[in-house]
Amino acid sequence: MKILITGGTGFIGRSLSPALLADGHSVTILSRYPNKVESVFGKKIQQIGSMSDLTDQAHFDAIFNFAGAPIFGSRWNDARKTVLLNSRIHTTQTIVDFIERAKTKPSVLLSGSAIGIYGDRGDTILDESAPLPAPTEDDFGHQLCVAWEKTAEMAKTQNVRVCLLRTGLVLGKNGGFLQPMLQPFKLGLGCKLGSGNQWMPWIHRDDYVAICKTLLENNTLAGVFNLTAPNPVTNSTFTETLARLLKRKALLTMPTWALNLLLGEMAQLLTGSQRVIPKAILDSGFQFKYTELETALADVLHT
């Protein structure tokens, strides 16, 4: 297949692209930084700088859409929210626009989303059929994901199969959300966040890539997919497990009020609770390699 990936030099794309190449596919990456594409992948992968560079005659069998500014980082002031929205919604809209004008349509669009779309739901078990909460002004993560998914779903009007990838916390070597946590934990400064009772749906990057390949190849699969491992854990369990594997203690707690003070509205990413399970992909017959957090972390930490 000829495959286009946006966000292809990101944490997921750096594993997905080589896996697709190994399967014999042709990969093109959308990036404003051609030197970065070459530095990551060498000359094995083609690149374009903008969707507008593509003519109506350009054809891709599938499009993976992972573009988006990092959700963690700067505080969520109005300017940062605009960056987060535009980097996802605008890019997704340009993909939909290309699909509309392309003479030959892709068969599938696999578009990123996140478990934040479910809002803060406590201990409620959430599969893909769970109703979404009503929009609120104080849950930007939910608003962002809803707008992102609605834009991607517009491709269905062109008879394109659309898969929405509601992604949990992705574990992998050399990057991802785990990377900035390792040094504090190695120094014995790992800590529970808030109450520690909030659920943290996670997934090993190898399983994430394997699910992407399954969704690419199985044309009967469409709609919403929770890309999380079958066994989410609470923040307390995650903290204890990581500390134990690093042979350290994690006796500290970062209270919710301190997280709110340090991070502002962005603290909801750390204190919100989504007990998400991947029912749709399990029902398809997919088998996870990493179902338990300890096994997944042990693999990631192994050098």
Query: Does position 303 have pLDDT exceeding 70, yes or no?
Result: no
Mean pLDDT across the chain, nearest whole number? 94
Which residue type, as a one-letter code, is found at position 219? Answer: N
Report yes or no: 75 and 269 within 8 Å, Cβ to Cβ. Answer: no
Q: How far apart are CA 229 and CA 233, in angstroms?
A: 10
Residue entry with tokens 């003519």: 55
Give me the residues paired with residue 276 across strands.
126
In percent, the amount of the chain with pLDDT more than 90 equals 80
Beta strands in 185-281 (DSSP E): 191-193, 199-200, 202-204, 223-227, 233-234, 252-254, 275-276
The continuous run of DSSP H or E covering 6 comes out as strand 2-6
- Segment 134-142 mean pLDDT: 81
Report yes or no: 267 and 260 within 8 Å, Cβ to Cβ. Answer: yes
Q: How far apart are CA 215 and CA 210, in angstroms?
A: 9
- Segment 229-246 mean pLDDT: 97
In this predicted structure, what is the pLDDT of residue 42?
Answer: 81
Instruction: Read off the pLDDT of residues 15-69 as tens digits, 9 standing for 90 and up.
Output: 999 999 999 999 999 988 777 888 888 888 889 988 999 999 999 999 999 988 8
Instruction: Read off the pLDDT of residues 56-106 as tens digits, 9 standing for 90 and up.
Output: 999 999 999 998 888 887 889 999 999 999 999 999 999 999 999 999 999
CB atoms within 10 A of CB 134: 8
Residues contacting 286, CB < 8 A, separation 6+: 210, 211, 214
In this predicted structure, what is the pLDDT of residue 105?
Answer: 97
Query: Does position 133 have pLDDT exceeding 90, yes or no?
Result: no
Total number of residues shown for the chain: 303
Query: Does position 135 have pLDDT exceeding 80, yes or no?
Result: no
Superfamily of chain region 2-176+201-232+276-290: NAD(P)-binding Rossmann-like Domain (3.40.50.720)
- Segment 131-158 mean pLDDT: 91
Residue entry with tokens 């495959």: 3
Q: Six-digit token pair at 67?
A: 């573009």
Residue entry with tokens 């009007």: 157
In this predicted structure, what is the pLDDT of residue 170?
Answer: 97
Instruction: Read off the pLDDT of residues 168-190 as tens digits, 9 standing for 90 and up.
Output: 999 999 888 899 999 999 999 99
Range from 39-53, 122-136, 162-176, 221-235 carrying the lowest mean pLDDT: 39-53
pTM: 0.95
Distances (CA, A) of 104 to 2, 45, 96, 99: 12, 22, 13, 8
Residue 109 backbone dihedrals phi, psi, to 5 degrees? -115, 120
HSE value, Cβ hemisphere, 13 Å, CA-based, for 277: 12
Domain range annotation of the chain: 2-176+201-232+276-290
Instruction: Give the 3-state secondary structure of residue 3.
Output: strand
Instruction: Give the 3-state secondary structure of residue 18.
Output: helix
Which residue type, as a one-letter code, is found at position 202? Answer: W
- Segment 130-135 mean pLDDT: 87
Q: How far apart are CA 23 and CA 46, in angstroms?
A: 16
DSSP summary character for residue 240:
H
- Segment 126-137 mean pLDDT: 88
Q: How far apart are CA 10 and CA 67, in angstroms?
A: 8
Query: Does position 243 have pLDDT exceeding 80, yes or no?
Result: yes
Instruction: Give the 3-state secondary structure of residue 196.
Output: coil
